[in-house]
Amino acid sequence: MKIKLLKGDITKLVVDGIVNAANTSLLGGGGVDGAIHRAGGKLILEDCVAIRNRQGGCKVGEAVITTAGNLSAKKVIHTVGPRWNNNQSNEPQKLESCYLNVLKLAEENQLSSLAIPNISTGIYRFPKGKAAQIAIKTIQAHKGNSLQEVIFVCYDEENYQLYQNILDA
Ligand code: AR6
C-alpha cells in the first residue's frame, strides 16, 4: 500500500474514499466536515440522518460510511476524533481507533484509494505532532488488501511539514 502526502482541499480529490472528521451527531459542522457537506450536497446528509435513525450517531473513535454525493469519490467515511483534554481521556487510543475503523470500513467496501485529513487537529485541538505520529504509524502498519493507496491531505502548512518530516525520516 502506497502512502502519499498532499497539501490542499480534500474535497477536490479524485479517490475512491474521502474521510471526514465528523462529530457524534453526524449532522455536519465546521472545518473539513463543513467543507465535505457543502461540496458533497444533501445526499451525504440524508445518509447520515438514516444512520442516526438506525444507531443514534457515531461514537468517538468509531466510523460510518455514506455516499459521497457530488464529490469525485464513491464513499465518504465519517469518523469522530477525540476532543483534546490534556491527555486525560485516552485521546491517543481514541485517535488510533479512528484510523483503524476507517481502514476497516475502506477494506470492507473494497475501496482502493483513500484520502484522510488530519483528524482532531483543528476544532478538537489535538496536538498536531502527536496526532501525525499516531496517524502515520497506524496507516503504515496496515497491510492493504483492497487498499492500494492512502493519501494524507494536510490543509495547513504546519501539519504538512510535520507529516513530511515523519514520512521522510
Ligand atoms: N480539506 C482538508 N483538510 C481540511 C479542510 C479541507 N477542506 N478544512 C479543514 N481541514 P477540523 P476536528 C483540516 O476542525 O479537529 C467540525 O465542526 C484542518 O486544518 O475540521 O476533528 C466537526 O463537525 C485540520 O487540520 O476537525 C466536529 O465538530 C483538520 O482538517 C469538529 O469540527 C481537522 O480539523 C471536529 O474537529
Query: pLDDT band at residue 169, thresholds of 50, 70 and 90?
Result: very high
Distance, CA 109 to ligand 1 centroid (Å)?
24
Structurally, the chain folds into a number of domains equal to 1
What torsion do the CA atoms of 155, 158, 160, 164 make, to the nearest 10 degrees?
A: -170
pTM score, two decimals?
Answer: 0.99
Distance, CA 148 to ligand 1 centroid (Å)?
25
Give the range of the structural domain holding residue 6, as residue numbers without chain letter: 2-168
pLDDT digits (tens, 9 = 90+) for 122-161: 999 999 999 999 999 999 999 999 999 999 999 999 999 9
Which pLDDT does position 15 carry in this prediction? Answer: 98
pLDDT digits (tens, 9 = 90+) for 70-81: 999 999 999 999
Query: pLDDT band at residue 22, thresholds of 50, 70 and 90?
Result: very high
Catalytic residues: 33
List all residues 6 or more positions away from 75 whose beta carbon is below 8 Å from its beta carbon: 16, 17, 18, 65, 66, 67, 68, 109, 111
Average pLDDT over residues 63-68: 98
Q: Which atom of ligand 1 is nearest to the CA of 25?
A: 23
Q: How far apart are CA 30 and CA 20, in angstroms?
A: 11
Distance, CA 128 to ligand 1 centroid (Å)?
12
Measured in degrees and rounded to the nearest 5, phi and psi for residue 39 equal -75, -30
Which pLDDT does position 119 carry in this prediction? Answer: 99
Pair 72, 13: CB distance under 8 Å: yes
pLDDT digits (tens, 9 = 90+) for 23-39: 999 999 999 999 999 99
Helix ranges (DSSP H) in 14-156: 31-40, 42-55, 91-108, 128-140
Q: Is the CB of 163 under 6 A from ligand 1?
A: no
Q: Which residue has the cell 499516531?
A: 134
Q: Is the CB of 11 under 6 A from ligand 1?
A: yes
Query: pLDDT band at residue 4, thresholds of 50, 70 and 90?
Result: very high
DSSP at 68: -
Q: Is the CB of 122 under 6 A from ligand 1?
A: yes
CB atoms within 10 A of CB 139: 20
Query: pLDDT band at residue 111, thresholds of 50, 70 and 90?
Result: very high
Q: Is the CB of 26 under 6 A from ligand 1?
A: no
pLDDT digits (tens, 9 = 90+) for 81-109: 999 999 999 999 999 999 999 999 999 99
The CATH number covering residue 31 comes to: 3.40.220.10
